[in-house]
């Protein structure tokens, strides 16, 4: 019963926050305070709902340690929203919700489609004050970083970064995501547990990341035999593969045109690139809609069968929507954003705060590891990736006078930290 109440609260907060986001978007375009007031009120209701859900979960679990990716994602989402409201009040950053709420919604959405949501007992090694401090500081630090990066994005829009540059990065990112997703066979119209498992069973390739995916499912309670039985299972989802393949082609053409434009600076090329990016959008939306419509009708699979792939598709489609939306109203959006110096400085403050918390999180992790296992460091990816992220943010902070480089390193840093939080267990060669 308690579990269902929590889930209802989380779903409710997702819906209300999505509504709040749309109101923020209208406020950005119309600049009328009524829209902002509505957005803030809805946002507050969504936040209370989310906070209550988290509180209930901790109450039922009888612990305050956030031990799973599900719980970490929820806390991260809540952190981002709370900081957003603080910024809104303190700096009068009223349009912050346009970028910060989608980031919070991304983490909340990812949490909601993760397969493992039940309250589980924590292993004895995690039952430590140091681990608690490590996880809390880490997740809140991630929140600050995400907000800093979100504001930097607004800064890029405010400083009228050429649409072609934004297009180059976004189409490149979306095309790369679809290309990588081919390994998950979505583009071939199939949605199964993971192609990588097939590799592992088939020829026992030692260094594929399959081992980790395989272990992940073993940990979920599947037996080796059950997994072997499962392997021939390929769920064909009609039309989805073809639609996404068309999307990939169109978005790749757009990317290539933007790339050529980057060197040749011919207006025609930019127009064509934008045209292809725009016509790719309906195909992507249709593909996603088909996926969302058809998956519940196939009993063998559900969204959570492959949460990371699914959330990557959703993110890519939303990035494309964002870009096309931007291409129609870039000027008015840019006009209505706060002053660029304000965005730049608040983002720097956010990244610095995140860096402090993240540093503390690493220190606590070392102390915890030393008490639990007798060493504060092992040369495994689990240790190195968080430190790589730390180094990238360190570079970003050392380059505070060079705006573009600072932004570049901060983006890289956040990408690495997200990989550390969500992808490390699955894709690492030695994880």
Partner 1 sequence: MKKGKSSFLGVFASRKLTIFIVLFIVISAILGTIIPQEDFVSLESIKREYPSFLYAIFIRIELFRIYHSLWFKGLFFLLLINIIASTIVNLPKVLREIKPPERIPDPENFQNYPFSRLLSLPNGPPIEKMEEKITTDFKELGFKIKRREEKRVLLFGVRGRLGRFGFLISHLGFILLLSGVFISSRYALRGRISLVEGETTSKMVSSDGKDISLPFSVGLDWAKASYYQNGMIKEWEARAFITINGEKTKEKTVRTNHPLSFRGFNLIIDEFTEKAETKIKGYTLDISGLEGENRRTYHITKFGEELEYPEEGLKVVPLRFIPDFVMSGTTPFSRSQELRNPALEIEIIPKTGEITKLWVLAKHPELNRLPGLPVTFSLRVDKKELARVGFELVKDPGVKIVALGGGVISFGLFLILLFPPASVVALIFKKGKQTLLFIGGGFHRNYFFFEKRMAQLMESLRVRL
Query: Which residues make up the interface to partner 1 (CB under 8 A)?
Result: 121, 123-125, 127-128, 130, 206-207, 339, 341-342, 344-345, 348-349, 352-353, 355-356, 359-360, 362-363, 366-368, 370-377, 379-381, 384-385, 387-388, 391-392, 394-395, 398-399, 428-430
In this complex, which beta carbon is closest to partner 1, that of residue 52 or of residue 127? 127
Q: Is 66 exposed, middle or buried (0-12, 13-18, 19+ CB in 10 A)?
A: buried
* Distance spanning both ends of the chain, measured CA to CA: 36
Which is nearest to 46 in space by CA: 80, 72, 70? 80
- Alpha-carbon dihedral angle through residues 55, 418, 301, 74, given to the nearest 10 degrees: 10
Closest distance to partner 1 from the beta carbon of 157 (Å): 18
* Residue 190 bridge partners (DSSP): 236
Residue 54 DSSP SS3:
helix
In sequence order, the 6+-apart residues with CB closer than 8 A to the CB of 67 are 120, 122, 126, 135
Closest distance to partner 1 from the beta carbon of 376 (Å): 6
In this complex, which beta carbon is closest to partner 1, that of residue 302 or of residue 411? 411
The C-alpha atoms of residue 241 and residue 236 are separated, in whole angstroms, by: 9
* Residue 236 bridge partners (DSSP): 190
Closest distance to partner 1 from the beta carbon of 367 (Å): 6
In this complex, which beta carbon is closest to partner 1, that of residue 182 or of residue 352? 352
Closest distance to partner 1 from the beta carbon of 178 (Å): 23
In this complex, which beta carbon is closest to partner 1, that of residue 297 or of residue 379? 379
149: its two tokens: 């990066």
Closest distance to partner 1 from the beta carbon of 77 (Å): 24
The C-alpha atoms of residue 198 and residue 193 are separated, in whole angstroms, by: 10
In this complex, which beta carbon is closest to partner 1, that of residue 329 or of residue 430? 430
Q: Where are the alpha helices (DSSP H) in 337-422?
A: 340-373, 381-398, 403-418
In this complex, which beta carbon is closest to partner 1, that of residue 217 or of residue 368? 368
Residue pointed to by tokens 């030393």: 370
CB 151 within 8 A of CB 99: yes
Closest distance to partner 1 from the beta carbon of 363 (Å): 3
Cα–chain center distance at 367:
29
Tell me 23's DSSP state. Answer: H
Closest distance to partner 1 from the beta carbon of 350 (Å): 11
Closest distance to partner 1 from the beta carbon of 124 (Å): 4
Tell me 121's DSSP state. Answer: P
In this complex, which beta carbon is closest to partner 1, that of residue 4 or of residue 206? 206
In this complex, which beta carbon is closest to partner 1, that of residue 130 or of residue 275? 130
């Amino acid at each position: 019963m308690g579990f269902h109440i929590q889930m209802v609260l989380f779903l409710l907060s997702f819906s209300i926050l999505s509504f709040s986001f749309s109101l923020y978007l209208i406020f950005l375009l119309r600049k009328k305070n009524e829209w902002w007031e509505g957005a803030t009120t809805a946002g507050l209701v969504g936040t209370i709902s989310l906070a209550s859900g988290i509180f209930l979960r901790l109450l039922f679990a009888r612990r305050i340690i956030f031990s799973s990716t599900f719980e970490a994602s929820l806390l991260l989402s809540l952190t981002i929203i709370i900081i957003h409201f603080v910024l809104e009040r303190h700096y009068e950053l009223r349009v912050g919700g346009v970028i910060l709420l989608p980031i919070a919604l991304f983490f909340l959405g990812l949490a909601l489609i993760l397969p493992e949501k039940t309250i589980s007992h924590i292993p004895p090694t995690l039952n430590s004050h140091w681990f608690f401090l490590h996880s809390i500081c880490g997740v809140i630090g991630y929140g600050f970083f995400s907000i800093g990066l979100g504001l930097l994005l607004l800064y890029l829009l405010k400083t009228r970064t050429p649409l072609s540059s934004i297009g180059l990065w976004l189409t490149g990112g979306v095309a790369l995501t679809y290309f990588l997703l081919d390994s998950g066979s979505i583009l071939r119209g199939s949605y199964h547990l993971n192609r990588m498992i097939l590799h592992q069973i088939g020829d026992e390739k030692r260094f594929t990341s399959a081992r980790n995916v395989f272990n992940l499912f073993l940990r979920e309670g599947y037996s080796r035999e059950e997994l072997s039985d499962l392997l021939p299972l390929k769920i064909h989802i009609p039309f989805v593969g073809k639609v996404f393949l068309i999307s990939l082609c169109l978005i790749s053409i757009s990317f290539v045109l933007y790339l050529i434009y980057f060197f040749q600076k011919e207006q025609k090329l930019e127009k064509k690139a934008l045209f292809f990016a725009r016509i790719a959008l309906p195909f992507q939306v249709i593909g996603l809609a088909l996926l969302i419509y058809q998956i519940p009708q196939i009993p063998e699979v559900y969204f959570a069968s492959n949460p990371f792939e699914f959330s990557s598709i959703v993110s890519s489609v939303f990035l494309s929507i964002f870009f096309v939306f931007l291409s129609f109203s870039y000027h008015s959006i840019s006009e209505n954003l706060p002053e660029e110096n304000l965005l730049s400085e608040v983002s720097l403050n956010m990244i610095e705060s995140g860096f402090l918390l993240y540093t503390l999180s690493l220190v606590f992790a070392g102390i915890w590891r030393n008490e639990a296992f007798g060493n504060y460091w092992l040369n495994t990816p689990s240790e190195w990736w968080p430190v790589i992220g730390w180094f990238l943010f360190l570079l970003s902070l050392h380059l505070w006078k060079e705006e573009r480089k600072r932004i570049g390193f901060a983006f890289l840093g956040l990408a690495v930290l997200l990989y550390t939080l969500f992808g490390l267990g699955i894709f690492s060669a030695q994880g």
